[in-house]
Amino acid sequence: MPAFWKAVLVAPLAVPVALCIWIAASWQLHLRQADFYLAAGIVVVVGTVCGAIAMAVLGLPYLLWLRAKDRLSWLAVCAGSTLAGIGMAAPFWIQVSRQSALESALVGTGAGLLVGVVFCLVAGLPVWGRQVQGVASCE
């Protein structure tokens, strides 16, 4: 499987994994372990579904367009994923956490940027847009 498609499949999992790590790091010791597993399970299921939908609706068309124009780079991918993160994660986070719009936009920014960075790392993209062998191909 080419690196581009691996990155498309792996990148949306970055946010649920990061949230599970955050839950584990902030979990209080006096709470039950079963509660932790329930919270982590909900985060993984909901985060994976939301991440897959966001990748299919926003990310993949944008990435395919960048690839067709030979413009796949860290800057282009991370800029697009950050905007998508604000658009997708922020409204969801407002409903789930009852935080302010600004705080939710910051969470969305971080989530989108994380997905973009993971995509770039897995795909082996260059920082400034020079084509890497196998990345821009349609294999």
In a domain, 132, yes or no: no
| pLDDT given for residue 30 in this prediction | 66
* Mean pLDDT of the chain, nearest integer: 85
pLDDT at 126 over 80: no
Q: In this predicted model, which residue has the larger pLDDT, 30 or 78?
A: 78
pLDDT at 59 over 60: yes
- Identify whether the C-beta of residue 108 lies closer than 8 Å to the C-beta of residue 87: yes
Tokens of 116: 């973009």
Tokens of 88: 């997708």
Report the run of H or E that residue 35 belongs to, with start and end: helix 33-54
**What are 66-75's pLDDT values in tens digits?**
999 988 899 9
Q: In this predicted model, which residue has the larger pLDDT, 37 or 121?
A: 121
In a domain, 131, yes or no: no
DSSP 69: T
- Identify whether the C-beta of residue 63 lies closer than 8 Å to the C-beta of residue 77: yes
In a domain, 130, yes or no: no
- Identify whether the C-beta of residue 90 lies closer than 8 Å to the C-beta of residue 105: yes
Per-residue exposure over 40-61, b if at least 16 CB sit within 10 Å of its own CB, e if not: beebeeebeebbeebbeebbee
Highest mean pLDDT: which range of 20-29, 39-48, 60-69? 60-69
| pLDDT given for residue 123 in this prediction | 95
Domain total of the chain: 1
Domain limits at 76? 3-123
Distances (CA, A) of 20 to 13, 95, 116: 11, 19, 19
In a domain, 34, yes or no: yes
Nearest CA to 58 among 16, 119, 101?
Answer: 119
- Give the Cα-Cα-Cα angle 127, 129, 130 (nearest 5 degrees): 105
Nearest CA to 119 among 1, 10, 37?
Answer: 10
